[in-house]
Amino acid sequence: MNAKTIYRLSVALTGAVQRLRVEPRRDRETRRGPNIFTDWWLQSFGFALAGLYAVGFVILYRSRTWIIGKTGLPIYTDFGNIWMAGTQALHGNIAAMFNSAELARLNAAVFEPTTFFYPNWPYPPTFFLIAAPLALLAYRWAFITWDLVTLLGCVVVVYLIVRRRAAIALTLAAPFTAWNFLAAQNGFLTAALLGASLLSLERRPILAGVFIGCLSYKPQFGIVIPLALAASSRWRAIVSAVATIALLTGVSIAAFGVGVWEAFPGQLMAQTGVNFPASQDADWGYLQSVYGLTRSLHGGAALAWVAQGVITVGVAIIVWLVWRSGVRYPLKAATLSAAALLATPYAFAYDMAALVIPAAFLARDQLERGVLLGEKTTWIALFGVPLAVLVTLGDKLGGPTFGGTPVSLFAAMLLFAVIVRRVLALHLRATAPSAPPALSPERPTPYTMTRTTRKPGLSKTGLSRVWPR
């Protein structure tokens, strides 16, 4: 037996031993089941669930329990006030929106009989600029157009953040998306403006300021935004936002007169009086904030304000520290957008459609850097629990509804906690004695379990390439 034959036998034996070692490992991997965090699984699940939502909406519409009622008249919903505001703006009768008795009379003449009409118009006069074009359409078409256009804006922004088709599917399938679509409220618009401002802030601060200025139609979600801009010295964005607000104010005055701005503070105070100092037996569950949760647990107004103040100050401090630090920008954006939803005492379930923005920035960072232990499980909880509540409660008349439970508040808190935990992990990594000088996708972080040689960006084949098992 010559040396060449001995070498061939050794190679064959080595290969056999390696196959014996590898095959059991493959068996174990097969028994684990499919990885649901791949593009194919996420898209299949998301589009299928969104399809079920669409079928449900068609059933509601054909049964005359959504948009148009059994009498052929529109059903009064949140969108009813928006459409009515646009109608009065076109007819030059905006004063009616600031007169509770006149507003109730107008609504009663247009909508199906109901036991309650919203007595106040709580939005700044700049919102008439949005509502007026909708009133050019018949109510049902205005309702559907508003839903589809604002949803499209939200989906586009989320896709531009994550750059994955799965992001589109999951945005459409999100439970808060379904709830906002049902009410035709402005949660999609809030999400689109918030996401677009943060998406453009790094490279186009002036454009970001324009989006922030447009977001002023919902000023309660801007409590912590100026703080983050100041902490990171984004002065051009601040100037642009102020200029945009001034321009929108001027246009609204030119179009509708100064009287609308004179009447607005009174309406705002009246709406505040309806929501915050109400009696203990009011429907506090609809207010998806720490203030609302405290009141729904039979806490007094003073205790509720203290609890909300603690949360608002706490998230503001975190936003300040994060935006002053060298944390990666996607985590900064995720922190700010989640904090914006927690800092306000005035938020409803439809507003939480904007949770897709911090979720998108968090997913972007995970795709680029890997996941921490337990983050995949957190994603399942963030999606699954609200979905279960939506399916269980729905929109039950005379009883608890999906919008009347604090599930969206808890989802916002959990998402914010996951983001902060990730920021702290990065900080501990940076301050460790053996820490490398920089973090990059080519160098695994303490929470990255696989090595990738892709340049900073996203995998083209599936989430499993970057989100290891």
Percent of the chain with pLDDT over 90: 58
DSSP conformation letters of 186-205: SHHHHHHHHHHHHHHTTT-H
User: In the predicted model, what is the mean pLDDT of residues 411-417?
Assistant: 96
74, β-bridge pairs: 68
Model confidence at 138, pLDDT cuts 50, 70, 90, reads: very high
The pLDDT value given to residue 12: 58
In a domain, 29, yes or no: no
Helix count and strand count (H, E) for the chain: 19, 0
CA dihedral 194→195→196→198, nearest 10 degrees, is 90
The pLDDT value given to residue 251: 94
The pLDDT value given to residue 285: 79
In a domain, 23, yes or no: no
The pLDDT value given to residue 463: 41
List, for residues 341-352, the tens digit of each pLDDT value: 999 999 999 999
The pLDDT value given to residue 276: 65
DSSP conformation letters of 338-349: HHHHHS-S---G
Neighbours of 138 (CB within 10 A): 10
Distances (CA, A) of 253 to 83, 84, 218: 20, 19, 19
The pLDDT value given to residue 395: 79
Percent of the chain with pLDDT over 70: 81
The pLDDT value given to residue 398: 67
In a domain, 182, yes or no: yes
The total domain count for the chain is 1
263 versus 339: which is more confidently predicted?
339
Nearest CA-CA partner of 288 in 232, 225, 352: 352
- Distance from C-alpha of 204 to C-alpha of 212, rounded to nearest angstrom: 12
443, β-bridge pairs: 440
Nearest CA-CA partner of 199 in 186, 210, 185, 188: 210
Q: Per the structure block, which two tokens stand in for 417?
A: 């906690």
In a domain, 213, yes or no: yes
User: In the predicted model, what is the mean pLDDT of residues 126-150?
Assistant: 94
Determine which of 335-339, 360-364, 386-390 has the lowest per-residue pLDDT on average.
386-390
The pLDDT value given to residue 142: 96
Q: Are 125 and 59 in contact (CB under 8 A)?
A: no
In a domain, 205, yes or no: yes
User: In the predicted model, what is the mean pLDDT of residues 132-146?
Assistant: 95
In a domain, 170, yes or no: yes
- Say whether pTM exceeds 0.85: no
List, for residues 169-224, the tens digit of each pLDDT value: 999 999 999 999 999 999 999 999 999 999 999 999 999 999 999 999 999 999 99
68, β-bridge pairs: 66, 74
Q: Are 426 and 338 in contact (CB under 8 A)?
A: no
Phi, psi of 294 (to 5 degrees): -60, -45
In a domain, 362, yes or no: yes
Q: Are 132 and 122 in contact (CB under 8 A)?
A: no
Model confidence at 328, pLDDT cuts 50, 70, 90, reads: very high
Neighbours of 461 (CB within 10 A): 10
The pLDDT value given to residue 278: 57
The pLDDT value given to residue 2: 58
Angle at 18 between CA 16 and CA 24, to 5 degrees: 105
Neighbours of 48 (CB within 10 A): 11
The pLDDT value given to residue 118: 80
The pLDDT value given to residue 274: 62
The pLDDT value given to residue 103: 87
List, for residues 423-462, the tens digit of each pLDDT value: 998 877 766 665 554 444 434 444 443 334 444 444 443 4
Q: Are 174 and 379 in contact (CB under 8 A)?
A: no
Cα-Cα end-to-end distance for the chain: 47
The pLDDT value given to residue 394: 84
- Distance from C-alpha of 358 to C-alpha of 354, rounded to nearest angstrom: 8
**Residue position matching structure tokens 């076109």:** 90
Phi-psi region at 337: left, alpha or beta (left = phi > 0; alpha = psi -120 to 50): alpha
The pLDDT value given to residue 222: 92
Range of the domain at 376: 42-465
